[in-house]
Structure 1
């Protein structure tokens, strides 16, 4: 199935949205989140403040501009997996494909420091995490034909969404992701002493 071509108008909207997000992040990293106003961002992106609010519901959303499609991606990872591939393996591949490039981004450390040092951004990130957990656990439950809120589905969703946090301090991110998913697939075993 081929994707329909994106209209010029949609491409322009996407470019404007990205320019706003890029300008905001540059300002936040340079001055700190609390020292940047929406007007500062509008000026840096060469748009009006009204244009910013057409693309983003609030200031926090400017930091997490890539989050817009995460719920849809999680649902697609579960529902559109290849025949014969289990849910857990599909989620493993999804995280390898989506999180490893983010982990390797040169501004990743600065971004994490910005979020960790700003209470409003930490709270926003926690709300996003809860929403993604609900979305993923519901998709898994639907796929397995069990009721929403099923403890096994909620637990799996929470652990899968924690994989980036658990693996970010490791030298080899891919190996860490693989090890965590192996634990999810086969259960925890005590590590052996070196």
Structure 2
């Protein structure tokens, strides 16, 4: 299958969007998200404010992210193209471990961007929005892999829980450890409580 070639207008739009994203990232990192206006970003690229909103109708927070297409495609590919013998949750665990706050030993630029996103409520909220947009399709992919109906409630719940992980675990002091803990829970359930184990012990029963 061949990839459609972009026309001149599409190429120009893509270049403008990229320039806006790069300018916004530089300004946000240098001054802080809340201290940067849309006009300042527009001026940095020599375009008008309406042009900025033409490319990012959701507002300046969207400039720190792509349009979500890569995220969506990669997420579904993690489920459908996983190696033989790997569970769906195992594949999603592996996928998430390579994203944002869960990357092990990230490059300085990625670390700075990730910290900016996780420490800025507007950016964290937008990132979560992009993940949640994938919920219906991820649920359908999980259901298909498990041989269940597309509207299966357990598949939908699993998709929702997985897609909440970046926002929930990514803000913890040790994001990778939190990622591991949450996926252990999703794959194996809650461990027996210490009190329950003590109650079932021979000494507890007399």
Paired residue for 1:108? 114
Q: CA deviation at 1:80?
A: 1.2
1:20/1:167 CA distance change after superposition, 3 Å: closer
2:169 alignment partner in structure 1:
166
Aligned to 1:131: 133
Note the C-alpha offset of 1:52. 4.2
For residue 142 of structure 1, what is the aligned residue in structure 2? Answer: 144
TM-score (norm 2): 0.69
Aligned twin of 1:83: 84
- CA-atom RMSD in angstroms: 3.6
Q: Secondary structure at the match of 1:169?
A: coil
The correspondence of residues 148-187 of structure 1 with structure 2, limited to 5 A, is 148-164=150-166, 165-171=168-174, 173-187=175-189
For 1:26, the equivalent position in structure 2 comes to: 26
Question: CA distance change for structure 1 residues 151 and 113 in 2, over 3 Å: closer, same or farther?
Answer: same
Gapped runs of 5+ residues in structure 2? 196-206
Maintained 8 Å contact 2:172/2:178: no
Q: What's the TM-score, normalizing by structure 1?
A: 0.72
Aligned match of 1:64: 65
Aligned length: 186
In structure 2, distance between residues paired with 1:158 and 1:65: 21
CA contact (8 A) 1:102 1:108 kept: no
Larger Rg: 2
Q: Which residue of 1 aligns with 2:204?
A: none
- Is it true that 1:44 corresponds to 2:44 in the alignment? yes
The 3-state SS of whatever aligns with 1:73 is helix
After superposition, the Cα gap between the structure-2 partners of 1:97 and 1:125, relative to the gap in structure 1 and judged at 3 Å, is closer
Distance 1:103 1:129, change over 3 A: farther
- Within 2, Cα distance between the matches of 1:151 and 1:54? 37
Farther-moved stretch of structure 1 (9-18 vs 123-132): 9-18
Distance 2:99 2:115 in 1: 17
Kindly state the Cα deviation for residue 112 of structure 1 after the two structures are TM-superposed. Answer: 2.3
Deviation at 1:16, TM superposition (A): 4.5
